Amino acid sequence: MAPQPATQTAILLKTLLKQRHWQTYSTFCKEYDKAAKKVDPSLQGGWPSRAQLHRWLTGELKGLPYSDHCRVLEAMFPGRSAHELFAANGVEVPAPRIEPDPAPVAGPSAESAQLGDLSAVFSSRAAFSSAYPAATLFDTAKEISAAGLSLNVICQSSPDHQLRRLLDSGTRIRCLFLDPKGEAIRARESEEGYTDGTLTTLTALNISMLTRLRARLDTESAQRLSCTSTTRQSGSTS
């Protein structure tokens, strides 16, 4: 008997988007606008950012989106309330398959030469995380260099013992965060609709986690872990 595909419980909204083939960000925004036009034309163009949509579909959102978003989503899926759309639906959704690498093409084309060592493109952070879990992504890495807002894939998805094992085995890890006290992160919070310092707190927590981990390492392993934060205006380290 063939093995059954791995499954995971999904937010109902995510399942419905997949059923209608609306899961790409551009398609979602088009369908959102169609529904917004029926509800209130002034809501057209008010679709969520990519980051907001990611939180909606992964269950990271606490409560419900703003009321205007709820009105449009209910129009997109008639008969479904906003509470239902953001509930775990209990339906098993096949986990994404990782397709084998295509056979190499003889001779580099002009297009492939421009892409350098690019190996894959993902439409969302969730799709990337599903295809490459942190445990397998970093397992045999010799050097990890990451730059971003909070670097959750390293600090939240990778347990301390995995990072410690990598560092003790000779892997070098370099992390560059936005400064939790800087203007850039406050601008990002405003852009994504946060009013409670969520991103500031999360980024500071992740930096603190790496700092505590480094303090527990021996001297040689600690030197392999670099944790830096910077703003757009100037660079500062922590």
What phi and psi values does residue 179 have, to the nearest 5 degrees?
-65, 120
List the one residue out of 120, 183, 129, 171 whose CA is nearest residue 152: 129
Which two tokens mark 143?
């050097």
Res 167: pLDDT:
94
Interaxial angle between packed helices 50-58 and 25-39, expressed in degrees from 0 to 180 and rounded to the nearest 10 = 90
pLDDT of residue 222: 94
| Secondary structure (3-state) at 133 | coil
What are 22-72's pLDDT values in tens digits?
A: 989 999 999 999 999 999 999 999 999 998 999 898 888 888 899 999 999
Q: Which of 73-87, 104-118, 164-178 has the lowest mean pLDDT?
A: 104-118
The tens digit of pLDDT for each residue in 200-216 reads 888 988 899 999 999 99
Q: 3-class DSSP state for residue 11?
A: strand
Task: Please state, in angstroms and rounded to a whole number, the distance separating the CA atoms of residues 7 and 163.
Answer: 27
pLDDT at 184 over 90: no
* Residue, of 3 and 87, whose pLDDT is higher: 87
Q: Could you tell me the pLDDT band of residue 89, with boundaries at 50, 70 and 90?
A: low
Q: Where are the alpha helices (DSSP H) in 40-97?
A: 50-58, 67-76, 82-85
In the predicted model, what is the mean pLDDT of the chain? 79
CB hemisphere CA count around 214 (13 angstroms): 19
- For β-strands 88-94 and 235-237, DSSP reports them as unpaired
CA 226 to chain centre: 22
pLDDT band at 9 (very low <50, low <70, confident <90, very high): low
Beta bridge partners, 176, equal: 147, 228
Residue 4 has pLDDT above 80, yes or no: no
Confidence of residue 224 (pLDDT cuts 50, 70, 90): very high
CB 87 within 8 A of CB 12: yes
pLDDT of residue 98: 40
Cα dist. 173→29, 128, 138, 154, 162 in Å? 37, 20, 10, 10, 12
Q: 3-state SS string over 148-184?
A: ECCCHHHHCCCCHHHHHHHHHCCCEEEEEEECCCCHH
pLDDT of residue 102: 47
**The pTM is what?**
0.48
Residue 233: the pLDDT is 42
